[in-house]
Amino acid sequence: MATKQEFRSFDDLLASSQVPVLVDFYATWCGPCQMMASILTQVNDQLKGQIKVVKIDTDRYPQIASQYSITALPTLVFFKARGVVDRIEGVLPLDQLLTRLRAHLN
């Protein structure tokens, strides 16, 4: 599961991470987002120590969602060295998601 942490800004979160960051942009009312949550728990378990999984509620942080042009939910944005390296809209099965993420970890 994603770890709850407080940061002064989203940029601080990205800058302080020693590993790539997978951000799940979601909303509590979004059914597909709830499906993605269990997949992300498995991703976190399988890639523990290699990536950080962060969840951002677009209703609570609309400015961050707007900054990254989030128009569909769920949207996963994968950051490496503070830059976006992949973006996934909608639900993706665990095996396909792991394949895409691992391609950026080499």
Q: Please state at what angle helix 31-46 crosses helix 94-103, rounded to 10 degrees.
A: 60
CA distance 72 to 52: 22
Which of 21, 23, 33, 56 is catalytic? The answer is: 33
Which of 22, 30, 54, 56 is catalytic? The answer is: 30
CA distance 59 to 39: 21
Q: Which among 46, 45, 48, 64 is positioned nearest to 56, based on CA atoms?
A: 64
Give catalytic status of residue 30 as yes or no.
yes
Q: Which among 70, 100, 74, 69 is positioned nearest to 85, based on CA atoms?
A: 100
Give catalytic status of residue 103 as yes or no.
no
Catalytically active residues are: 30, 33
